[in-house]
Amino acid sequence: MSAAAAPQGMFDCRDAYVATLEELAIVDPRIVAVVNDSVGSSKLGKFRDRFPDRLINVGIAEQNMVSVGAGLANGGKIPFVSGAGCFLTARAMEQIKVDCGYSQANVKLCGISSGVAYGELGATHHSIEDVAWLRAIDKLTVIVPADPWQTGEAIRAAVAHEGPVYIRISRMPVPALDRGDAPFAIGRAETLRTGGDVAIVANGTLVHRALAAAAMLAGEGIAARVINMATVSPIDIAALAEAAATGAIVTAEEGLAHGGLGGAVAEWCARNAPVPMRMLGFPGFLPTGSAEWLMQRFGLSADGIVAAVRDVLDQRSTR
């Protein structure tokens, strides 16, 4: 997928990421960026021009990139380690586990162009396993923002939070969501729409699709609650209890259908409030296709979510 400007009314969250990072870096000299020859794909060119000493390009070396980030944190910096999500997480998994999570280093990992943003480039370049992998790492906060505002807020929250954080930053165009004044907080979900018949728990690029699905369902007389579960780890238990109270849950994420957000929700529900669930996501290595084609193909669309809601409600009514 090219880095061309997003369609009218749609945004590339990388822009919010770098704008926020630059703004914070002006007042906080601890902030540095670490990249793996990914200045362009991370959109950090302006950051580099503005803070040439604070952009550390380690070259094409993801393991070293993450370890160097941990070292920079030891030296009092707040490193934003930015690279394509597929390489950052898979190549440097042990560095994320040991140097960041286990060491509780103050490193901020930014998985750029995560999910299936690289569409046609294939499974090597898809980062659909990242949330499942990283939520298994103790002490590591995992955030999947849904839109530009939330991306910026996640960056601010990561700076304020002492400890390792993974932020999944999409390049898939998303709209700015309508929301109230609720501030973003790590570990707190957003209820974007209330409803008592079913809950749709989504994050990232699936949130606006979940809202569209809920609007369609309203036309059928189904009141769907839409929860933006931006923080997957630690997950918002109170929001999950509210979701389970509807009696049925559909999860939707631009990632594996197992192990990620859907898995986290299912684990909690199985222990505390079992309800019928459907988990929308990808099954594994994917066929060739554009990002949007893949999303449609695997039901990660408003229509797909509507179908999953009908399906889960059928199960509930026939129990």
Partner 1 sequence: MTISFSASNDDFAARADRVRVRANWMRRRLLGMIVKAGQGHPGGDLSATDILATLYFDVLRIDPSRPDAADRDRFVMSKGHCTGALYSALAARGFFPEDELDTYLQPESRLNGHPNRVYLPGVETNTGPLGHGFPVAVGIAIAGQIDRADYRVFALTGDGELQEGSMWEAAMLAGHRGLGRLTVIVDRNRLQQGARTEDTNALEPLADKWRAFGWEVVEVDGHDVAALLTAFDAAAEPRDRPRCIIANTAKGHGVSFMRDQAGWHHGVPSAEQYAQAISELEAETGS
CB closer to partner 1, 65 vs 199: 65
Q: How far is the CB of 56 from partner 1 (least distance, A)?
A: 6
Residues in contact with partner 1, counted by CB under 8 A, come to a total of: 29
Site string for partner 1, 87-126 (x = CB under 8 A): -------xx--xx--xxxx---------------------
Q: How far is the CB of 6 from partner 1 (least distance, A)?
A: 34
Q: Can you give the chain as a three-state secondary structure string?
A: CCCCCCCCCEECHHHHHHHHHHHHHHHCCCEEEEECCCCCCCCCHHHHHHCHHHEEECCCCHHHHHHHHHHHHHCCCEEEEEEEHHHHHHHCHHHHHHHHHHCCCCCEEEEECCECCCHHHCCCCCECCHHHHHCCCCCCEEECCCCHHHHHHHHHHHHHCCCCEEEEECCCCEECCCCCCCCCCCCCCEEEECCCCEEEEECHHHHHHHHHHHHHHHHCCCCEEEEECCEEECCCHHHHHHHHHCCCEEEEEEEECCCCHHHHHHHHHHHHCCCCEEEEEECCCCCCCCHHHHHHHCCCCHHHHHHHHHHHHHHHHHC
Binding part of the chain for partner 1, among 19-27, 48-56, 280-288, 308-316 by CB under 8 A, reads 48-56
Q: How far is the CB of 118 from partner 1 (least distance, A)?
A: 24
Q: How far is the CB of 34 from partner 1 (least distance, A)?
A: 8
CB closer to partner 1, 102 vs 268: 102
Query: Distance (Å, rounded) from C-alpha 115 to C-alpha 204?
Result: 9
CB closer to partner 1, 58 vs 189: 58
Token representation of residue 186: 């790590």
Judged by CB under 8 A, the chain residues 207 through 226 that form the site for partner 1 are: none
Does residue 35 touch partner 1 according to CB under 8 A? no
Site string for partner 1, 49-78 (x = CB under 8 A): ----xx-x-xx-x-xx--xxxxxxxxxxx-
**Which amino acid is it at 305?**
I
CB closer to partner 1, 65 vs 143: 65
N residues, the chain: 319
CB closer to partner 1, 58 vs 280: 58
CB closer to partner 1, 101 vs 262: 101
Q: How far is the CB of 19 from partner 1 (least distance, A)?
A: 23
Strands 141-143 and 165-169: parallel
Q: How far is the CB of 101 from partner 1 (least distance, A)?
A: 9
CB closer to partner 1, 33 vs 146: 33
Judged by CB under 8 A, the chain residues 3 through 32 that form the site for partner 1 are: 32
Q: Assess contact for 148 and 14: CB atoms under 8 A.
A: no
Q: How far is the CB of 42 from partner 1 (least distance, A)?
A: 18
Does residue 181 touch partner 1 according to CB under 8 A? no
CB closer to partner 1, 78 vs 269: 78
98: left (phi over 0), alpha (psi -120 to 50) or beta: alpha
Q: How far is the CB of 128 from partner 1 (least distance, A)?
A: 25
Residue ranges in contact with partner 1 by CB under 8 A: 32, 53-54, 56, 58-59, 61, 63-64, 67-77, 79, 94-95, 98-99, 102-105
